[in-house]
């Protein structure tokens, strides 16, 4: 077993050189493995495997507050009121960006002001307290390009799923964190997960295909996630979840989710379990409760129709900020209902779904296969971003060109208005242009107005706020 998880350079009770920051020393990795084996519940990978075998969509809320007592209360309330299949611990922004001293001051002085749970600051003993308090396993969601300290505390806490990767947790979140460095750091995480897999502990590694969250063309989302999954598989990871954000057009969303198992068969070894995951709509939400509830139901139905193994829920308070417990419970209830077999009578035009899937898979192939065939993938990815042959729209990072300009076609599906320097064939470029040909007599629209309209696709359709 690697020494990285026993007492690596970040292990122990001091991070950031501040004497205020003292948390319990991390236990030996053998202790964490024994703790996970003794837990009287399934791991996240086991929950996903069971859900897939039963044809069920596992349901997972978002959840993360700064105070330990409030976090315990929230997890217990969600479990008692809605029985999620997997819990979430969303990490605060200070911890994501390794401002551990500020996170610790937040815990002591104003935990209610933290926008998530500062796991490193609370430490692994409190992490195990959360783990022991609920039946469902817990996944860590964060957004850090430098995840090592958080990953160590995650393992010591006995959590069995860790979201993120060297691309998806860098370019949407950090302005200038070198891609080469983030890939190397996440490689270490994946290598430890590979070590654990050989010990019989399977850690689910989920890739945040949501990226910058709005108007994300399906093929760039899947391409980035599969590149990260290929790197993880090479380090021995045995369970990956490919997450995709609901775009809002049911045929495209269904087709995207159904493409994931086929792409996994093409690009991942048979030894790797791969699960499709849908994030309910991540863009601007309607303010009116009835429309927000309808959008939540729509997302859960897309997950069901697309064969997702898991769906991440939203709430009707999404347009107003951090949702309260009751809103979370309502979102979970609506999602459980729509993702159940009760709505199996709803059917789509399967020819359209198949055609859309074929196009999505062709676009993914045109993006990823030149890189996979080029040799050293860890070096090829940063070069591709520098050249623009890999790119994401609206990136926070100056290391991505962000020359991709997405837009909705008349059906609401998301296409490439500009694909920048992505290595698309003429056939793909022509198809995207044809899909966006507004030959309906609508007046020309300025690019900024069009982007605003498409980003606010559901919010603009809002009626007056109210029940």
Q: Which residues are catalytic?
A: 96, 163
Q: Do residues 32 and 40 make contact, with C-beta atoms less than 8 angstroms apart?
A: no
Phi–psi pair at 197, nearest 5 degrees:
-60, -40
The residue behind tokens 């122990």 is 12
**Residue 190, both tokens:** 């994946």
Q: Do residues 82 and 133 make contact, with C-beta atoms less than 8 angstroms apart?
A: no
Q: Do residues 158 and 131 make contact, with C-beta atoms less than 8 angstroms apart?
A: yes
- Tell whether the torsion through CA atoms of 16, 180, 141 and 4 is positive or negative: negative
- The residues that bridge with 59 in the sheet, in sequence order, are 311
Q: Do residues 382 and 166 make contact, with C-beta atoms less than 8 angstroms apart?
A: no
Distance CA 334, CA 201 (A): 33
**Helix and strand counts by DSSP (H, E) for the chain:** 18, 10
DSSP string, 82-145: H--SSEEEEPPHHHHTT-HHHHHHHHHH-GGG-SS--HHHH-HHHHHHHHHH-SS-EEEE---S
| Cα 448 to chain centroid, rounded | 28
Distance CA 89, CA 290 (A): 28
Distance CA 267, CA 377 (A): 13
- Tell whether the torsion through CA atoms of 209, 210, 212 and 217 is positive or negative: positive
- Residue 465's Cβ-count burial label (10 Å; 0-12, 13-18, 19+) is middle
Distance CA 316, CA 323 (A): 8
Q: How far is CA 207 from CA 68, 277, 367, 377, in A?
A: 27, 9, 17, 17
Return the axis-axis angle of helices 68-82 and 325-338, rounded to nearest 10°. Answer: 30
| Residues with Cβ within 8 Å of residue 287, at least 6 apart in sequence | 319, 320, 459, 462, 465
Q: Residue 457: CA atoms inside 13 Å, Cβ hemisphere, count?
A: 22
Distance CA 74, CA 63 (A): 8
Distance CA 258, CA 270 (A): 18
């Amino acid at each position: 077993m690697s020494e990285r998880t026993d007492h690596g350079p970040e292990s122990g009770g001091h991070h950031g050189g501040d004497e205020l920051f003292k948390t319990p020393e991390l236990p030996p990795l053998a202790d964490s493995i024994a703790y996970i084996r003794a837990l009287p519940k399934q791991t996240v990978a086991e929950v996903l495997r069971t859900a897939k075998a039963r044809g069920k969509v596992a349901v997972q809320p978002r959840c993360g507050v700064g105070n330990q007592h409030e976090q315990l209360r929230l997890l217990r309330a969600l479990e008692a009121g809605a029985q999620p299949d997997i819990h979430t611990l969303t990490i605060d922004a200070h911890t994501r960006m390794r401002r551990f001293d500020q996170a610790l001051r937040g815990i002591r002085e104003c935990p209610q002001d933290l926008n998530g749970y500062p796991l490193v600051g609370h430490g692994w003993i409190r992490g195990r307290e959360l783990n022991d308090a609920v039946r469902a396993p817990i996944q860590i969601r964060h957004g850090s390009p430098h995840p090592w300290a958080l990953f160590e505390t995650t393992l010591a806490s006995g959590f069995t799923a860790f979201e993120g990767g060297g691309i998806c947790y860098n370019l949407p979140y950090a302005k200038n964190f070198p891609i080469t460095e983030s890939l190397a750091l996440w490689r270490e995480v994946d290598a430890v997960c590979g070590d654990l897999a050989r010990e019989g502990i399977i850690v689910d590694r989920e890739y945040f295909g949501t990226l910058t969250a709005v108007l994300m063309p399906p093929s760039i989302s899947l391409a980035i996630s599969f590149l990260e999954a290929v790197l993880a598989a090479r380090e021995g990871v045995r369970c990956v979840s490919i997450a995709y954000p609901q775009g809002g057009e049911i045929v495209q969303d269904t087709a995207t989710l159904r493409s994931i198992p086929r792409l996994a068969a093409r690009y991942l070894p048979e030894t790797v379990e791969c699960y499709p995951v849908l994030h309910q709509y991540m863009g601007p939400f309607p303010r009116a409760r009835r429309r927000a509830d309808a959008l939540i139901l729509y997302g859960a139905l897309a997950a069901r129709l697309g064969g997702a193994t898991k769906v991440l829920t939203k709430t009707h308070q999404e347009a107003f900020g951090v949702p309260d417990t009751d809103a979370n419970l309502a979102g979970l209830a609506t999602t459980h209902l729509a993702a159940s077999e009760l709505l199996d009578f709803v059917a789509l035009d399967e020819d359209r779904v198949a055609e859309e899937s074929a196009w999505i898979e062709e676009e993914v192939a045109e993006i990823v296969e030149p890189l996979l065939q080029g040799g050293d993938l860890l070096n090829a990815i940063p070069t591709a971003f520098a050249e623009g042959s890999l790119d994401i729209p609206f990136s926070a990072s100056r290391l991505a060109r962000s020359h991709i300009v997405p837009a909705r076609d008349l059906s609401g599906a998301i296409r490439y208005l500009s694909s920048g320097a992505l290595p698309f064939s003429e056939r793909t470029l022509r198809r995207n242009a044809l899909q966006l040909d507004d030959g309906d007599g609508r007046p020309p629209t300025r690019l900024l107005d069009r982007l605003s309209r498409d980003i606010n696709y559901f919010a603009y359709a809002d009626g007056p706020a109210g029940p």
